Amino acid sequence: MQFKRIGVLTSGGDAPGMNAAIRSVVRTAIGRGVEEVYGIYSGYKGLIEEDMELLNIRSVSNIISHGGTMLYSARCPEFKTEEGMQRAVDVCKKRGIDGIIAIGGDGTFRGATDLTRRGIPCIGIPATIDNDISSTDYTIGFDTAMNTVVELVDKLRDTCESHARCNVVEVMGKYAGDIALHTGIATGAISIAVRELPYDEDQAIAKIIKARENKKRNFIVIVAEGKENFAEAYAKRIEEKTGIETRFSRLAHVQRGGNPTVRDRVTASLMGKAAVMELLDGKSNLVICERKGVITSMDINKALKIDRMFKDLMTPEEYAELEAEGSLVDMRRHCEERAAAKLNLYRISQEICK
């Protein structure tokens, strides 16, 4: 199939580096002979409402350094309905859009596979600061978010040192504690708590008490938001059990903003190019991944299943289906490798953060 027009959209939570991916998609597509590239505003909502405009090499100049997404993002419950999806397909046919590059997270990819099933080829690019797309080792925005956390926690440590305080800092990561694990090590946090790994609260508090006896004055505890209803109450318990004045800080959406780092700009650029090349090669329903430092791709349906398996959301029926297909062993190995890497990071943090 010859692609004359393609669309690009961003959906879900914004992530630094999305603009770099948009830029790469537009410039690669035009450089490879695609006549027109539509920038679709506000994700699938904009597709349904036909809110889009043509992008060119110049219109994506100077966006690589900007956080957020120039195409904006919005929730779209209507797209989850058959009527909404058909409207999106009709818009694509009306505009002559032959395929779409969808940048975002797992919800974005589910939308992409729905469109592919209805005759609009789609390729997904993983962009989420949480790094919680299990099919890829890295998602666009992760590095920038971590650097933002490190900068803010370093500032908190300064005041903790001055007043001999503890600060419990909640960072983003509902299903994946990657931000917490990496920034906890990078900031020298005395303790890190994430939902997917066991946390010994008594041992952690004992460590804080021992460190204070050894004349330590500042204490940082990093908690991933996925450990729900924990961080704020934990700060109170630390103060009660140690006698150390303890504050709670929720960094929240400040982690989403800011100029993307080199890592995110380069990865987004590589993934953007790879997505266009896959589309032009006649492939669809794929998500671009980084695996062991190599940019590759995976079927979106497989990627979504791996994600559900890793997050322990898969039903017994789904497991049985995978076993019947003969893909269960491979998917389990993938999840086990990812879990082992995370556990190793956690163990390192316990050993060196004191």
Active site residues: 130
Burial class (CB in 10 A: 0-12, 13-18, 19+), 163: exposed
Is the Cβ–Cβ distance between 156 and 251 less than 8 Å?
A: no
- Order across the sheet with 294-299: list the strands: 52-55, 36-40, 5-10, 99-104, 122-126, 286-291, 294-299
From CA 217, how far away is CA 159, in angstroms rounded? 10
Q: How far is CA 38 from CA 22, 54, 78, 242, 328, in A?
A: 11, 4, 21, 58, 39
Place of tokens 């590759």: 296
CB-based contacts of 29, cutoff 8 Å, min separation 6: 3, 6, 37, 276, 280
CB atoms within 10 A of CB 291: 15
Q: Taking Cα atoms as reference points, which of 56, 43, 121 lies closest to residue 282?
A: 121
DSSP state of 127: B
